[in-house]
Structures are given as structure tokens and as C-alpha cells.
Amino acid sequence: MKKLFLLLIVLGWNTVLAQDELISNPDGRRNVSLNGTWHYIIDTYETGFYDYRFRERKESDNGAYWNENLPKSKSDLIEHRYSDKSSIKVPGDWNHQDRQFLHYEGTVWYQRKFDRPKMNQDDDVYLYFAAVNYEAHVYLNGKKLGSHKGGFTPFNFKIPANLLKETDNFLVVKVDNKRHADEIPTLNTDWWNYGGITREVKLVIVPRTFISQYNLALSQKQDILGSIKKNTFSVSGFVKLSQASAGSKIRIEIPELKFKKEITADSDSTNIEFNLKNLKLWQPEKAKLYEVRFTLGSETISEKIGFRKVEVQGKKILVNGRQIFLRGISIHEEIPQEIRRAHDMADAKQLLGWAKELGCNMVRLAHYPHNENMTKLADEMGLMVWSEIPVYWTIDFKNPEVLQKAQKQLDEMIARDRNRAAVIIWSVGNETPVSENRTAFMSNLVKRAKTSDDTRLIAAALEVGYNKGKNHVDDPLGAFTDIVALNEYLGWYSGLPDACRTAEWEVAYDKPFFISETGAGALAGFHADKLTRFSEEYQEWFYEEQIKMFEERFPDSFSGLSPWILADFRSPKRNHPDYQELWNRKGLYGEKGQKKKAFYVLQAYYKKIKDREDAANRRKP
């Protein structure tokens, strides 16, 4: 015990604080928003975190920026203070809110006060963050609640009862968006590293023992076509409690179906299974959601949930037993007209509305989990979703600690969105270079995702090889994923678009084949002949040749595509002074929201596919 105590002293007082398990559906519980105006201090040298010997400051240190440190007399020396002069909006990235933040990577301290929420004597309060990019250290009234790494997944901390004051609770968050070689993502990415508290913050009020997580989905073992014929469906899942409470009664209700069931908790996690009649399935472009209520004691949690089955049958992707072609588009979490991270429902409606106008039935949310507004709205719109963790390019595949960070982000992504019928694919990464270490790393993530959730397909954007004059898809990771997905840019990064006319494709796996990216850059409004790079005409020609290749030369396992990308987005890698100016120009929408000529090419292709599918479905009995 003495050795452990000494170890904790060496590691630092804040190291011992563990992160609490993620609470599902905070919007469906009693909550108080902490969105709005916060104060900030830019701390490039991390003076508020380290002393002048670069040792982490002690909890009570007057120089620590998590302490309010109001002067007791005019002679007191205090070198920091939060002021209305330096204010920032939450949620939101810091980069777009003030010119001084444009290229800033480093530490910014956020601060605000709040009063104790209305609550019962036996209630607990959790502080919930929908996302902070990238590393967050959270302090309340001078005490550290905990820390979190990962810029795109939620986390929460239980507030100790003796720490919460009636008024003026002093909340401070140290936010650090510096890139590191041993993080997820790593140093090298092709998108803007927006920093800040980029998504919602709220207080969540719950009973001492509460339902922390839950899941309901169609059981994967059943024959879905047989279930449709019999009009009886098997549903399964689990309910997890915040602490073991054997014998507790949990009630599940689906009012529209007049369904009620009471189960008895046998531990902190209890499996559930039952049959439902007259259930209408969630369909692509025909969304059906049911209000589902979970009750434990005095608390009832309500959420809209859809039921569907996604599976692979040979070279086909099936949704509810019917083959589906994924008419997709890739999307970054960015509003180009305002050069900022998307953060509210209006932003989600813009991005998914643009995708719907294009004719999509699916979106690839790249290259990280997007705001929960996106998956919620996709559920309502009937848009299928590919959701991905930022295991991107050249991370440190040999480092077991990096693997743990990737696993944690994968777990948080699944925990947040496991009840979203729209999410049909979990992706464990993008364009990772083939090696034994990489394949071991990535296959570990695939297996983990399958173990956590058997109701979705698992994918990654694979590497494509070149063998005997053919584009040969034999990335060893494809042996583990449910579909073979890859990024290809024939006519942009190699040759001209007419190279598609002679390209041959060979897939080593008997699985559905999906193009997770393809695209070409174009500056919106720049017109020239089709041979001129960055003209709208070149991008238009690129899409025309790609589509001809898809229709004439692709494998019979071709199951869809999500071209790169819906809209232009910011990237420090794109430095051409005339055409790019720190923008990736592969969007079908320009930076002002205007459609480029290629938009109409892809829209026409998707309409042709949909018309063909609708005609075929009308002929079926």
C-alpha cells in the first residue's frame, strides 16, 4: 500500500482520477444546458498548468488557472484572471471566433459559473461534454473531476455531492488541441484542427441508481423475410445500471405498439429479449421510429428508436432482406460558408439536406464521429450512415497505448450511437498503410467492434494494390471487414480521367465492393476547358468517366460509393495560391454553398439508379 501511495505522488495528483462511464441519451433525462458565453485565457506556454520548473501545479497552487484566486488586498500578486474582455461561445471551435485563433494549436482555458440545478436529495449530477478537441482537463471549484482524450466523442464526470455549491460553481476546462505522434488522429491529417469545446455541455441530473446505458435492436439470428411474413419480430438488447442492483424492476414500453414488459435486473447489466407484432421496420428513405421508454424507479428515459436488419449475403448488402445500393457522399463536419465546425441541428439540416438533394440514401461521416445531431437527423430522414473513428494514415501501429486510445474512441462512438438505426457501418479507419503491425492493430479494432455490436457492418477504407496491369484489391485487412471499401482517384492523382476507360479491377474477397472515396478538385466559378486542372469542367469530366467505369468495368460485387466530398473544407495541406488557399476543393458544393457542375453529373447518376430500383421493386410481388 505504501508503494502504491508513493507511486501516486510521483505520477501526480490528477492521474488517479478515472473517467466515469458514458451516460446514454443525456437529452432524454433531466438536464441543464451550460452552452453560451464562457471566458477564456490563451495559455501557449501552459503557465496555468505547470510552474516555472515545468512541474504540474498542485491543486491549491495560486498560480493554477483552475483556481479563482480573487485578491484579498490590492497588494496580492495574481497573474491571471477570467474577464468579460475575453469571451467565447460554446459550443463552437475557437478558430472562427477570433482572427488570433485561426492557426492556433495549444492550450486555451475555458471558464464559466453555474448554480446548483434543481434536484432531489438522493440525486446525483454529472457534467457531460458532447466533445472537446482534443485533450480536456476538467476542474470544479478548484478540484479536478478528470480528463479525457479524443476530439469527437462524448464523456462525463460525476460531480461529488460535497463539491457542488448552491451558487457560483467555478467551472474550468483546460482544452489542448496540439497534435502528437502517439495520438488518434496523429500529426498528419488532411483537415483543419479546429480546437475548443466544439459541442454541447450540460449538467445531467439522475437518481443515485439509474439506467446508464441501454440498447434495443432486431435480433440478428432471425430470418428477417420470415419474420416479415409472420409479422412477428424478435428484439434483443440490454439495460445497464449505474451500479449493481439485483432485483430492481425495469419497465420497457413502446406506446404505439401497446407493448409493456417488466424485467428484473440480475446485476449491473441485464440482457433482454422479446417479440413484437405489427412492427414497421426502419427503411432507407422511409424512416420509421418508435418512442421507447425505459423506467427504473422514479426515472423514465424516452428515445425514438428504429428497427432494421443489416447484413451481407455473398457480394450483396441487404437491409431488411432486400439488396441495397449505397448512393453515398462523404461529409466533413464543417460549414464552409462560415469556415467553422458544424455544431447544432441547423448545421446538420444543411449538410444532410444537401446530401438528400444530391440523391443520396447514405452518408459517410468522415473521418471521425460527427455531432450527434447528424445521426439523430439521419435517423429521421432515412439516411444510412457510415461512422468512423480517426485512425487515419500513419499512426503509431506498434504502440499498444495508441491501440488503447483507438479502442476507447471506438467504444465511445458505439456507446453513443448504438440505438441509431441509420448507422449501418462502423469504420475503424482510413487509408492505413499495409504492414503486419498495422493489420494486427486494425483487425483488433474490427474484432472489438463486432463483439460490441453485431447489428452493423464493420469496414475500413482499405489500400488498393497494382498487379499485372490491374487495380488489385487484396489488402489483408479485407479478410476481417464485412465489406471491401477503398479510396480511388484515377484521373486526379494519377493520369487523366479517361484512364478510367482502360482500368481493370480485381477483388480478392467474395464480399460487397464499395468505393469509399473518389473525387477531383475544382474552384467553384472557375471555368475552362476540361483539361484544365481545378476547373469545374475538369471535375465534371472526372465524374463522367468514373461513372462510365462503374457501369461498364466494375466487379459484379459493386455495392455503392461515397465520393469525396459534399462540400469544400479547410485544410492546411492545400497551399496553391490561386486555386486552394488552404481549402480542399473536391467538394460538389463550393465554399459559399454554390453547386459545381459535377454535382449535377452525380445527381443524374443517382437518380438513374433509384429509378431503376423503384421500377424493379414495383415488379416484385
pLDDT tens string 489-547: 999 998 999 999 999 999 999 999 999 999 999 999 999 999 999 999 999 999 999 99
Give CA–CA dist 567/332, Å, rounded: 8
Predicted local distance difference test score (pLDDT) of residue 467? 55
Q: Residue 60 is placed in which grid cell?
A: 491549491
Render pLDDT for 381-399 as a digit per residue (tens, 0 to 9).
999 999 999 999 999 999 9
- Report pLDDT for 458: 98
Strands 107-114 and 143-149: unpaired
Residue ranges of domains in the chain: 17-69+81-207, 221-308, 320-519+539-567+589-619
The Cα 462–Cα 487 span in angstroms is: 7
Among the residue ranges 12-21, 226-235, 274-283, the one predicted with the least confidence is 12-21
Q: What is the pLDDT of residue 17?
A: 44
Distance, in Å, from the CA atom of 348 to the CA atom of 350, rounded to the nearest integer, reads 5
What is the residue-averaged pLDDT of the chain? 94
Q: Chain-centre distance of CA 22, in angstroms?
A: 15
pLDDT tens, residue by residue, 542-558 = 999 999 999 999 989 99
Mean pLDDT, residues 450-466 taken together? 91
What's the per-residue H, E or C state across 502-513?
CCCEEECCCCCE
CATH number of this structure's domain 320-519+539-567+589-619, picked from the four choices 3.30.565.10, 1.20.140.10, 3.40.630.40, 3.20.20.80? 3.20.20.80
Q: How confident is the model at residue 18 (pLDDT cuts 50, 70, 90)?
A: very low
> What pLDDT is attached to residue 247?
85
In this predicted structure, the answer to whether residue 468 has a pLDDT above a threshold of 70 is: no
pLDDT tens-digit series, residues 584-593:
999 999 999 9
Q: How confident is the model at residue 6 (pLDDT cuts 50, 70, 90)?
A: very low
pTM of the model: 0.94
45, pLDDT greater than 90: yes
Q: Would you state the pLDDT for residue 95?
A: 97
Specify burial of residue 11 (Cβ count, 10 A radius: 0-12, 13-18, 19+): exposed
When pLDDT is cut at 50, 70 and 90, the band that residue 9 belongs to is: very low
For range 409-438, the mean pLDDT: 97
Q: Is a pLDDT exceeding 80 seen at residue 88? A: yes
Fold of 221-308: Immunoglobulin-like (2.60.40)
What integer pLDDT is reported at residue 497 of this predicted model? 97
pLDDT, position 419? 97
**Helices (DSSP H) in 430-510: which residue ranges?**
436-452
Prior bond of 367 cis (ω within 30°): yes
Q: What is the DSSP string of 236-293?
A: EEEEEESS--TT-EEEEEEGGGTEEEEEE--SSEEEEEEEEESPPPPBTTB---EEEE
Residue 7 has a pLDDT of 36
Query: Is the Cβ–Cβ distance between 235 and 217 less than 8 Å?
Result: yes
Measured CA to CA, the distance from residue 430 to residue 428 in angstroms comes to: 7
Sequence letter at residue 426: W
Lowest mean pLDDT among 7-11, 43-47, 240-244, 571-575: 7-11
3-state secondary structure of 373: helix
Query: Which stretches of 92-168 are assigned E, i.e. beta strand?
Result: 107-114, 123-129, 135-140, 143-149, 155-159
Grid cell in block for residue 503: 482500368
Judging by DSSP bridges, how do beta strands 505-507 and 211-218 pair with one another? unpaired
| 345-358 vs 372-381: helix crossing angle, rounded to 10 | 50
pLDDT for residue 13 is more than 80: no
The percent of residues in the chain predicted with pLDDT above 70, rounded, is 96
- When pLDDT is cut at 50, 70 and 90, the band that residue 469 belongs to is low
Give the pLDDT confidence score for residue 3 in this predicted structure.
40
Question: pLDDT value at position 464?
Answer: 78
Q: Other CB atoms closer than 10 Å to residue 59's CB: what's the count?
A: 14
Which residues contact residue 47 at a Cβ distance below 8 angstroms, ignoring those fewer than 6 apart?
Answer: 63, 65, 79, 80
Mention the CATH class of domain 17-69+81-207: mainly beta
**How high is the pLDDT of residue 5?**
32
